[in-house]
Structure 1
Amino acid sequence: MKPTASFLSVAFVISLLPIAKALVGSSWTVTNVPSTGLTDITFPLTIVEADHISGYYFAQQFGFVNSADVGYTGLQPRPNQNGRPVLHGVFSSFVAGSTTTDSNCAAGADGGPGVSCSVEWNGVYGRTYDLEVKRTGSSLWVGTVIDTVTGARIHIGSYTLPAGVGGIQSSQAGFVEWYPWNGGEPPNHCARLPYQKTLFGHPYTTRLGSVGTQSLAYEYGDCVGQVAFKTEKLLIGGVENNCGFKGQTGV
């Protein structure tokens, strides 16, 4: 049977996603992107519900012109501190030759080349945070979390890409990952997945005439059909997804 266009699209997007214990993917596109790429893109993200424990990573990938490698930005829950919730913001480059002088960053990304940056703050579950990725000058990229209620800008980090690497490409994908299982899975692990509900808003950019769209989410990995996954498009824009089971801790 000849594969349909939609099947090819999903299969291609899955091939772009990280080889890890990710569970959910959701592709995004931006129209009217120049051949040199975008100089900025922003991803709205809301953690509607998740236990205040380490384990989940809600992220968006983005690719660069003239590079086969990608960057990530996203949010991770953390245990409460002094009775207050904590969120962990991430901004990474997997491009070999990336460098940084930022105190929030370090060399290397998931054991390979690149740069990893992070910051923690007293975040609010259920609030939308805009994850801004922006180029300053010719090759310095800055990651920022923007609180859409207070307007506060929280610096995640910054890195410099190698000469010749261009702007952000017109499409890539986001994902939901339960990363503790990367180091080994408990028996019957899919049934032990903690519950989460997140909203991935439509990405946007300051480039005039460019419009971003976040596509309906889908399952992938070894727990497909086993984690009560649901997804739907939102009237306010973007996509909701949820999976997992309340009361579970992943172990």
Structure 2
Amino acid sequence: MKPTASFLSVASVISLLPTAKALAGSSWTVTNVPSTGLTDVTFPLTIVKADHISGYYFAQQFGFVNSVDVGYTGLQPRPDQNRKPVLHGVFSSFVAGSTATDSNCAAGADGGPAVSCSVEWNAVYGRTYDLEVKRNGSLLWVGTAIDTVTGARIHLGSYTLPAGAGGIQSSQSGYPWNGGEPPNHCARLPYQETLFGHPHTTHLRSVGTQSLAYEYGDCVGQIAFKTEKLFVGGVENNCGFKGQTGL
């Protein structure tokens, strides 16, 4: 899925279940970004509560200098394996002409051109994972999920952007995406609670800010949506209904 919204760069709460699509977003900004763009940005993300089923996609989206298309990274819940929780990490590019030789990646993203990378691991719900997007050289970008408790680095994937692409921008825009759903799908939405921390970068004197989340799509006002700023930094949001599976 290519989640977009008519704001600055966005974090998105997307349901990929057949019963719902785009749900909520939250814009992020980074100050003091050079004209050539950032060489790295990290997005702290915590899935506090969510059923261990496929469906939700918690994503951060970012644009590149000299490109109208975007990349994104995020986490998706998955069914437990051998009684252990599993998360699905994603790192993708919608920039036409992107290529990859990484074994975690494949050509094509959401049915279009470019590259999508992913990996699954035994993760911990309620734990913060830092989603690092970092340039290695001039055009190669690497996605990593960092366990903030153990320090373990989970390699999500890597891809090479086409010649001329620059660093990560401080802003980009798009539109909310929705697909066809069966009747009463908003009332069937599973419950989720997530924390989107302030993004950060190694670029000197750059400060990241995550805004309050907002609803969009066709379930606005129908999914018990709540959002608030966190004292420790970032934004909490939750929506959906306990006991629902989206089916």
**Same fold at TM > 0.5:** yes
| Alignment-derived partner of residue 37 in structure 2 | 37
1:72 pairs with 2:72 = yes
- Please provide the CA RMSD for this pair: 2.3
CA distance in 2, matches of 1:50, 1:186: 22
- TM-score, with structure 1 as normaliser: 0.89
CA distance in 2, matches of 1:106, 1:144: 17
CA distance in 2, matches of 1:16, 1:165: 20
| Alignment-derived partner of residue 211 in structure 1 | 207
| Alignment-derived partner of residue 220 in structure 2 | 224
| Alignment-derived partner of residue 7 in structure 2 | 13
Return the offset for 1:16: 7.5
Show structure 1 runs of 5+ residues with no match.
1-10
CA distance in 2, matches of 1:62, 1:142: 14
1:159 pairs with 2:146 = no
CA distance in 1, matches of 2:11, 2:41: 19
Deviations 1:165-214 (A, max 9, x none): 000001358xx99xxx84x4232000000000000000000011000000
TM alignment of 1:1-251, pairs within 5 A: 12-13=6-7, 21-172=21-172, 182=179, 184-251=180-247
Return the offset for 1:13: 1.1
Return the offset for 1:17: 8.5
CA contact (8 A) 2:129 2:145 kept: yes
Return the offset for 1:122: 0.3
CA contact (8 A) 2:93 2:115 kept: yes
> What secondary structure does 2:156 align onto?
strand
CA contact (8 A) 1:14 1:25 kept: no
CA distance in 1, matches of 2:11, 2:216: 10
Query: Between Structure 1 and Structure 2, how many residues are aligned?
Result: 236
Runs of 4+ in 1 over 3 A off after TM superposition: 14-20
Closer, same or farther in 2 for the Cα pair 1:244/1:210, shift >3 Å? Answer: same
CA contact (8 A) 2:9 2:63 kept: no
- TM-score, with structure 2 as normaliser: 0.91
Return the offset for 1:14: 8.3
| Alignment-derived partner of residue 3 in structure 1 | none
CA distance in 2, matches of 1:29, 1:14: 7
Closer, same or farther in 2 for the Cα pair 1:126/1:17, shift >3 Å? Answer: closer
> What secondary structure does 1:53 align onto?
coil
Show structure 2 runs of 5+ residues with no match.
none
CA distance in 1, matches of 2:222, 2:157: 37
Amino acid aligned to 1:215: S
Percentage of pairs with the same residue: 85
